[in-house]
Chain A
Amino acid sequence: MKEAVKSELAVLLSRAGVPLRSEDMADIQHGWELLQPVLTRLRQEDCDFESEPAPIFRPDAFDPEI
């Protein structure tokens, strides 16, 4: 399990492009593992198509003439 997380984390870090030193990897992995229940809580919700995210775009919000 730990090895699977480590491999996943290596891919994610590579994508992020952050120059993390190898000696700091274990600490980040610990944080990433602690974050998983938080992400699971978001992902398990059965959201319908009508459930819009909170930051709804308003087309007039950035027009200085309006």
Chain B
Amino acid sequence: MMDFLTIAQAAALIAKRALSPVELAQQCLGRIETLDAHIHSFITVTSERALDDARAAEHRMMTSSLKGRLDGVPIAHKDIFSTRAIATTAHSRLLEHRVPDEDAHVVSKLAEAGTSMLGKLATHEFALGGPSFDLPWPPARNPWNTEHFTSGSSSGAAAAVAAGLVLGATASDTGGSIREPASLCGVVGIKPTYGLCSRTGAVPLAFSLDHAGAIAWTVEDCALLLQAMAGYDARDPASRDRPVPDYTAALGSSIRGLRIGVVPAWHETDCPVSPAVEKGFLQALEIWRAQGAEIVEITMPSLYDYMAATLVIMLSEAYALHDPWMRSRFYDYGALFRDRILLGGLMGSGDYVQAQRLRQRLCIAMAKSVSDIDVIATPGAPREAARIDAVTKWGFLSVPGFAKPFNVTGWPALSLCSGFGDGGLPVSVQIAAKPFQEQLLFKVADAFERATDFRGSRPTISHIS
């Protein structure tokens, strides 16, 4: 009965004392023990901590003092988020033995919400690059076919959620690192507005592009996780002090009258997509249209402009952070990370400033393009997951993808499964909204999810017991 519960389902059962948080944690730990040797989604499994957390939740359940819908829910954290007394490595040899003395802000908030922490999840080294085979831990593999890539960098989070090892996970996104693995692993990923979730205690990649967010099996589950993670933090200079709305309040309500913008040039010219991705995207538009939304074609700057600004800012800021170690410990990094960010050390200061000037123009252009639009819809990843041994070091320089416009602008964006393509691998659609309109984002995504049956399929490997 407990197989593949969503967070919302588990919460409902726990609220009725029909599900033991301890048994739920034990079941997840058992699944990790059975399956993770194939998926490599975890760097560290914290069994004792998980059971301690679950016992505390169970006590609250039995004393009618549950903290909310996340109380007793088993989750895990991307290994860039600091966890007190538990190694936080960023999947790098350079931080292999780093044990923080306090939790990251979002880790702390999820602990306060009563979650049970199962461990730390694989990423790409310092949340960039991958898949790397020259690090102390192997790369995560796609549960839908372990010969295929997860994308990243929230690779472990997406793989673990897809395989049912955890019910939700923290994740981060600098240039697509939540939405791309969520897309390729058939789960839901939310990159909220820049400044909504604190990055305090997260190993940074690029300060002005880094976002903390979440991955889960359903839209509602992502809304529940974000509810706990969002909020002001004076220690993060980007954090915004504003009320956090109820992200689940609008789920299930009508989207009639909403205007959904699509940018044909993006997927027809700038970044062509596979037949299955196109089919899933067109089907999503058709479903929203049938639900009463209006689909409106709009124009935007080229995806290559968004890619140029993102890459130059990301590589420059990342290089600035790693400069001392790049000089002294160059070959302690994995080859993919060190070689990619080395490009940031070769650019000129003018390139970084021009990228930030372009960024401002791109933000203005997007705001103008969608002045009378509620949300923007795009394909998620351009195609199904590649084989893990076919991913090249420099491919990221030539394929713009659909994620970066919403890192450069800081607008919230979410990806969710829109079907299955070659080899049964998932494809996805992305929805983006204006800043701090996450509630609307969840509502539109939820309307699509409820109208389809894609949440009824799990990877075959997840059924092994």
Contacts and interface: CB of A to CB of B under 8 A. Distances in A.
A9 B343 CA distance: 10
A42 B312 CA distance: 9
User: Per DSSP, are chain B's interface residues mostly helix, strand or loop, or mixed?
Assistant: helix
Contacts of B340: 31
A41 B309 CA distance: 9
B237 A42 contact: no
B339 A39 contact: no
Interface string A1-40: 0000000010011001111110010011011101100110
Contacts of B305: 41
Contacts of B353: 53
A55 interface: yes
B2 interface: no
A9 B359 CA distance: 27
A47 B345 contact: no
A43 to B, nearest CB: 6
Nearest to B354: A42
Nearest to B324: A17
Contacts, number: 91
B420 interface: no
B397 to A, nearest CB: 4
A63 to B, nearest CB: 12
Contacts of B330: 18-20
B406 to A, nearest CB: 14
Contacts of A54: 208, 356-357, 359-360, 363
A31 B394 contact: yes
B357 A35 contact: no
A34 B397 contact: yes
Contacts of A32: 343, 346
A35 to B, nearest CB: 5
B345 A45 contact: no
Best-buried of B307, B330, B359 by chain A (most CB within 10 Å): B330
A12 B358 contact: no
A52 interface: yes
Contacts of B308: 38-39, 41-42
B342 to A, nearest CB: 6
Contacts of A31: 339-340, 343, 393-394, 397
Contacts of B269: none
Contacts of B397: 31, 34-35, 38
A47 B355 CA distance: 11
B392 to A, nearest CB: 10
A12 B357 CA distance: 24
Given A12-B346, A42-B312, A55 B208 contact: yes
Given A31-B397, A34-B397, A38-B311, A18 B351 contact: no
B304 interface: yes
Given A18-B330, A38-B311, A42-B308, A53 B360 contact: yes
Nearest to A27: B339
A18 B358 contact: no
Interface of B: 208, 237, 304-305, 307-309, 311-312, 326-327, 330-331, 339-340, 342-343, 345-347, 350-351, 353-361, 363, 393-394, 397-398
Given A35-B397, A38-B308, 19 more contacts: A12-B345, A12-B346, A13-B346, A16-B326, A18-B330, A20-B342, A28-B339, A28-B343, A31-B339, A31-B343, A31-B397, A32-B346, A34-B398, A41-B305, A41-B308, A45-B361, A54-B208, A54-B357, A62-B237
13 contacts: A18-B330, A19-B331, A20-B342, A31-B340, A31-B343, A31-B393, A32-B346, A35-B347, A39-B312, A41-B304, A41-B305, A42-B308, A47-B357
